[in-house]
A and B are shown apart, each in its own frame.
Chain A
Amino acid sequence: MLVPTVTADAIAINSLYSITLFLAVVVFIIVQGLIIYAAVKFKRKHADEIPYQDHGNMKLELFWTVVPAFIVIMLFFLSANTLAQLSGTGTTASPINNVHKVGDENARRRIEEAKRTDVVIEVDGRQWFWQYKYIKEGVRHSSQDNGELIIPEGKTVRLDLQSRDVLHAWWVPSFGGNLYVNPGEMSYVWIDRPPKGYYIGQCNAYCGLQHAQMLSRVKVVSQVEYDTWVKLKKAEQGGVATENGDAQRGAQIYVDGGYKYADAIAKGDKNTGLQAQEIADLSAYINSLK
């Protein structure tokens, strides 16, 4: 794959892909080589040339039946093996379906036991944006107006996806794998300990007019930044932001891009355009938030 692969899932898919690509290139070179060689070598030399009337060759034909059969069966087992390594897929003997009907408690339990998870985010797919609800943290967010899904680095995040209208699909290529999001069903995607960074994905099931604009921008931040962002977001959504001056400034920080300032503040960075006193006030304010 030609995108950076940053999670264990993406890396596993990528190594399977690389093996397959290697075999594909070998087959490609053999076949194209034979075609080009034959086309150049066996051009008709004179008009009444009659070549040997060869009807076939059992041994050769058996060879190019058996060898490819062997290769594809090998690829089948490699794939099954890789599948079992991916997050939340269970084992080959007892695989887990990462999609189930809403309200199917047994299936839900299997998913919860399938993989240890640090952060759970409910994601609603809608024409044409994603809505994020952080369960433990109690904050809401959305992909509208370039909104980003903020997650902490090095933690395992589970997205519990549901569609509120038509089919959508969650796909952030660097995390590996995509999955349809269906109305009336839960779909589960894991983001396994991603490193810090900025990743763009996009809805990958045609969903109508603005399907092309249904982006999923993901920002993986440090734990401190994440906590700060959550606090600010919570303050804003809880109405704390309007109670005093600091809070108003806090809300403003959020409006200005929230976590970006939070990031700067957490690191004590002076290049934010804020005065030292302001930073101190804001830090105090953020620290005062629960």
Chain B
Amino acid sequence: MASISIPVEKRKSALVDWLTTVDHKKIGIVYMGLSFFFFIFSGLLALAIRTQLAAPGMKIINQEFYNQAFTMHGTGMIFLFTIPFLVGGFGNYFMPIQVGARDMAFPKMNAFSLWLYVFAGLMMEGGFILSIIANATGWGDLGLGSNASWNAYVPYSTRAFSPQAGVDVWLIGIALNGISGTLGAVNILVTAYSLRAPGMSVWRLPMFTWALLTTAVMVLLATPVLTAGLIMLTTDRNFSTQFFTTADPRMWQHVFWFYSHPAVYIMVLPAMGVISEILPVFARKPIFGLKALMISTALIALLGFTTWAHHMFVSGVNPVVQRFFMFTTMLIAVPTGVKIFNWIFTLWGGSLNMKTPLLMSIGFISTFTIGGITGVFLGMIPIDQQLHNSYFVVSHFHYVLFGGSVFGIFGGLFYWLPKVYGRMLNEKLGTIQFWLMMIGFNLTFFPQYILGLLGMPRRTATYIPDRGWDLYNLLSSIGAFTIAFAVLIFIINFVIYIVARKGEVAGDDPWEGNSLEWMTPSPPPEYNFKTIPTVHSERPLWDLRHPELADSGKHH
């Protein structure tokens, strides 16, 4: 049994306490809070984009700002919201508790990751925000924003074509953020490897933890490649190195996508983990095909490293190589499909408790499926040759990242916030939020498939009338505001029922959970567990509640 150092109550001010904490739960909360802020910020940029595109020829925002807006929207959503929220937020807070640990393996490094993320985020967004302020107050253009687009293709992103300092600040910010993420991944892997409770074998790991581990492996293998690439691009820009400027024009694209395709799974696997936790709890059934789900997660991660050049089917890659990437891309649909059917059959024959976490998870399965199916279209070279860079692609990846990750995140918030704060969120508001999100989301993004098929390219600040695009763009913009309204309802829900503590008291285990976090009080004490529990099955808490039906008694 590990020895516990029960903290002596030194009287620290709350602020100093939050700034110096090495507690994985507090670090997790700061991650969640801050990345949610970046979600709102990047979301507001999306609203600006959608307002501008609501009708042809609009001049609500100027072209330069539009280009910065989608760049910052994309990088903000990916690097400052989705990944840090799922891995830094949910991961930090829940993974150690789920495996029965008292903290992460390296608590100080954990704090370092957090503050490096904060610093990186300030760098990425700071220059952009200063630029906006300077423009608004008439100081003129500071050139501190980046308009390179999230994939910063060379040569547009080189000094010759984008001389402004904003691109450097932004690149360095993303690179530092990558270092933060890489350290976080090391921490997660070591924690899960060495601090598991007795009896917690691989097949008994909770699905979220398993997904997070797989994600951490991907982060560890992929992120340093991007970080190195970003640093090389920065030195090309500032110190006349020629890593990319004189290389094959596809060199940057390979480096970028070698990270950024796996990044899609880095964003979506933990969210899949979240819903794989929620579904069995709210269906009162074991997850259907546990091993198949776990293996498919690992297979997706593995195959995820072999598909990157499907983003380069029109870049002039050797055609034989292209066919290889088409094959791997088509294959990855198989383990993904396995997951979808296993989730559905977890619901099948269950006793479904239709609360917000389950609604969000069902929303996830439904929308993510559409994202997955359209991914198969884009994996087929001839179809991708037509639809590459069109709004079809924009729609496809939002079905995966919003329809998947964001629905998963909200499901996780409704599921886990009671654990974090000891109060329940309001169910009625939750249900309204879910339906508004579901309708708003499909209204925003389904018309974008049609726009892509009608030939509308992405990253265009405006468009001419008479191409049949007007109606679909208008619908899409209305949808975006519907989503914004749904998010507003969540914030209201959070403020009233959690911040102002109007919510019902949650108790240790409001949902009849299966995994170890539901054994601890809500919120859990600093040391998580008085005595570390011993685990006998994949649903330790179910076994306690239903000894007669215990998983640990039988073999499957």
Contact = CB atoms under 8 A, between A and B. Distances in A.
A206 B454 contact: no
B20 interface: no
B342 A61 contact: yes
Given A28-B370, A28-B373, A68-B333, A13 B347 contact: no
Contacts of B162: 208
Contacts of B556: 55-56
A206 B288 contact: no
A45 B326 CA distance: 47
B344 A31 contact: yes
B389 A205 contact: yes
Contact of A184 (B249, B376, B377): B249
A76 B327 contact: yes
B351 A42 contact: yes
Contacts of A32: 366, 369
Interface size, B (range): 35 or more
Nearest to B539: A53
B491 interface: no
A187 B316 contact: yes
A50 B314 CA distance: 54
Nearest to A99: B316
A98 interface: yes
Given A49-B284, A52-B349, A61-B338, A13 B386 contact: yes
A79 B149 CA distance: 30
A185 B316 contact: yes
Interface in B327-348: 327, 330-331, 333-334, 337-338, 340-342, 344-345, 347-348
A165 interface: yes
A15 B320 CA distance: 23
Contacts of B457: 171, 202-204
Contacts of B291: 56
A185 to B, nearest CB: 6
Interface in A53-69: 53-57, 60-61, 64-65, 68-69
Interface in A76-115: 76, 78-80, 82-83, 86, 89-90, 95-100
B265 to A, nearest CB: 18
A278 B316 CA distance: 51
B349 A1 contact: no
A72 B288 contact: no
B155 interface: yes
A65 B289 CA distance: 12
Interface string A22-50: 00100110011011001100111100011
Interface in B451-489: 453-455, 457-464, 467-468
B283 A51 contact: yes
B285 A53 contact: yes
A42 B349 contact: yes
Contacts of B347: 35, 38-39, 42
Nearest to B354: A43
A173 B389 CA distance: 12
Given A177-B385, A185-B249, A72 B373 contact: no
A99 B323 CA distance: 16
Contacts of B55: none
Given A178-B386, A211-B460, A27 B373 contact: yes
A166 interface: yes
A163 B453 CA distance: 26
B422 to A, nearest CB: 23
Interface residues of A, number: 88
Nearest to B340: A31
Nearest to A79: B380
B141 interface: no
B241 interface: no
Given A55-B288, A166-B156, A212 B342 contact: no
B383 interface: yes
B319 A89 contact: yes
Nearest to B385: A177
Contacts of A176: 385-386
Nearest to B64: A209
Contact of B63 (A166, A179, A210): A210
A183 B249 contact: yes
A24 B156 contact: no
B210 to A, nearest CB: 16
Interface string B63-85: 11001000000000000000000
Contact of B462 (A31, A60, A212): A212
B153 interface: yes
A68 B336 CA distance: 10
B352 A17 contact: no
A286 interface: no
Given A50-B546, A61-B292, A45 B380 contact: no
Contacts of A65: 334, 337-338
A180 interface: yes
Interface string A183-212: 111010000000000001111111111111
B288 A56 contact: yes
Given A73-B330, A97-B318, A166 B155 contact: yes
A76 B350 CA distance: 37
Nearest to A206: B459
Contacts of A184: 249
A290 B21 CA distance: 84
Contact of A83 (B370, B382, B463): B382
A39 B299 CA distance: 29
Given A2-B450, A205-B389, 18 more contacts: A13-B383, A24-B373, A54-B288, A56-B288, A61-B289, A61-B292, A64-B341, A65-B337, A68-B337, A79-B383, A83-B382, A96-B319, A166-B161, A167-B156, A173-B386, A182-B316, A184-B249, A185-B316
Interface of A: 1-3, 10, 12-13, 16-17, 20-21, 24, 27-28, 31-32, 34-35, 38-39, 42-45, 49-57, 60-61, 64-65, 68-69, 72-73, 75-76, 78-80, 82-83, 86, 89-90, 95-100, 127, 165-167, 169, 171, 173-174, 176-180, 182-185, 187, 200-212, 215
Which 5 pairs across A and B sit closest by C-beta, in order of nearness?
A99-B316, A173-B455, A95-B319, A212-B460, A56-B289
Interface of B: 63-64, 67, 147, 149, 153, 155-156, 161-162, 249, 283-286, 288-292, 314-316, 318-320, 323, 326-327, 330-331, 333-334, 337-338, 340-342, 344-345, 347-354, 362, 365-366, 369-370, 373-374, 376-377, 380-383, 385-386, 388-390, 450, 453-455, 457-464, 467-468, 546, 549, 551, 556
27 contacts: A1-B386, A2-B450, A2-B468, A3-B453, A13-B383, A31-B340, A31-B365, A35-B366, A38-B347, A39-B362, A42-B348, A44-B284, A44-B351, A44-B354, A54-B288, A55-B288, A64-B341, A68-B337, A76-B326, A95-B320, A97-B318, A174-B455, A178-B385, A208-B161, A211-B460, A212-B461, A212-B462
